[in-house]
Amino acid sequence: MRSILIMNPKGGCGKTTLATNLAGYYAVTGQSVLLADFDPQSSSLDWLAVRPETCPEIQGVAAYDEKFRASKKIDVLIMDAPAGIHGKQLTDLLRRTETIIMPVLPSPLDVRAATHFVEELRRINKIVKSEVKLATVANRVRDHTLAGNDLTEYLSKLKLPNGKKFPFMATLRASQNYIRAAEKGLSIFEFAPSATETDRNQWKPLVRWLNSVRSRP
Ligand SMILES: Nc1ncnc2c1ncn2[C@@H]1O[C@H](COP(=O)(O)OP(=O)(O)OP(=O)(O)O)[C@@H](O)[C@H]1O
Ligand SMILES: [Mg+2]
């Protein structure tokens, strides 16, 4: 089973957006998906609750509330982390995953918060030893903005203490498609390709990385 954790302690950076869209992506490609919501706000489960029955099935679990073990039938486990996780809660979650995706927004406050979090990650053995692989994603980026450029420059330079890079795998634009998809329990991969072509293309390097051995320990 593939296990992917979407995490960044900063609130509102796009964790649930990435988790639900990634769940949709894998479901559309015929995989059996379990979406584990670790956030008591339960936004991922709320998304699942409005998902049309005609769409490929995604299973959900309220991981904030119950201990769970993914069944053998699950191909991909996607975990949506809550805001504010640090310390023990963080190391507990890391035990369950082989890959982390960390979305960051283009704002000085978000970049500063990411810097603190990266410092914490750089002290965690599992990360330093590449037993968990982490990639970053610039999210909600507007074209040709200074904040967008600053963020992509910052993310492309992030390194582990041993000099290895945290791969910077995608820049996702700010798009109403994500908001409309969220409202309907869909992913952008379930909207008309003509309307979502730009967004789908922006996911390609991330998805390629996730489907390659580079994203696994
Ligand atoms: N690329 C994007 N374009 C447009 N809107 C976006 C994008 N990414 C996220 N959003 C919107 O930003 C808001 C916050 O996103 P989201 O809920 O995914 O963040 P989060 O990190 O899960 O937040 P929390 O920390 O509260 O769990 C949502 O309204 C979402 O629809
Ligand atoms: Mg969330």
Whether 24 has a pLDDT exceeding 90, the answer reads yes
Cα 188 from chain centroid?
A: 14
Ligand 1 centroid, distance to 208 Cα (angstroms): 23
CA distances, 123 to each of 13, 44, 61, 129, 162 (Å): 23, 29, 30, 11, 11
Using one digit for the tens of pLDDT, what is the confidence trace for 195-207?
999 999 999 999 9
What pLDDT is attached to residue 212?
A: 97
Q: What is the mean pLDDT of residues 169-184?
A: 98
Ligand 1 centroid, distance to 14 Cα (angstroms): 4
> Binning pLDDT at 50, 70 and 90, where does residue 144 land?
confident
Ligand 2 centroid, distance to 163 Cα (angstroms): 31
Provide the Cα torsion 3, 11, 46, 79; round to 10°.
Answer: 10
What pLDDT is attached to residue 189?
A: 98
Q: Extract the tokens encoding 88.
A: 């023990």
The CATH architecture to which 2-210 belongs is 3-Layer(aba) Sandwich (3.40)
Using one digit for the tens of pLDDT, what is the confidence trace for 155-164?
999 998 889 8
User: Among 64, 175, 178, 202, which is best to mutate for testing ligand 1, by the most ligand atoms less than 8 A from CB?
Assistant: 178
Return all residues near 71 (Cβ < 8 A) that are at least 6 apart. none
What pLDDT is attached to residue 161?
A: 83
Q: What is the mean pLDDT of residues 7-25?
A: 98
Q: Choose among 145, 153, 165, 154: nearest CA to 112.
A: 154
User: Among 5, 7, 16, which is best to mutate for testing ligand 1, by the most ligand atoms less than 8 A from CB?
Assistant: 16
What pLDDT is attached to residue 27?
A: 98
What pLDDT is attached to residue 46?
A: 98
Q: Which atom of ligand 1 is nearest to the CA of 39?
A: 27
Whether 214 has a pLDDT exceeding 90, the answer reads yes
What pLDDT is attached to residue 162?
A: 86
Whether 84 has a pLDDT exceeding 90, the answer reads yes
What pLDDT is attached to residue 56?
A: 98
Mean per-residue pLDDT of the chain: 96
Using one digit for the tens of pLDDT, what is the confidence trace for 87-142?
999 999 999 999 999 999 999 999 999 999 999 999 999 999 999 999 999 999 99
| C-beta of residue 12 within 8 angstroms of C-beta of residue 86 | no
Q: Is the pTM of this model over 0.95?
A: yes
Share of the chain above pLDDT 90, in %: 96
Share of the chain above pLDDT 70, in %: 100
What pLDDT is attached to residue 193?
A: 95
Q: What is the mean pLDDT of residues 140-147?
A: 93
- Enumerate residues with CB within 5 Å of ligand 2 (an ion): 15-16, 43
| C-beta of residue 22 within 8 angstroms of C-beta of residue 119 | no
Ligand 2 centroid, distance to 23 Cα (angstroms): 14
CA distances, 73 to each of 32, 172, 183 (Å): 7, 31, 28
Q: Whose CA is nearest to atom 8 of ligand 1?
A: 14
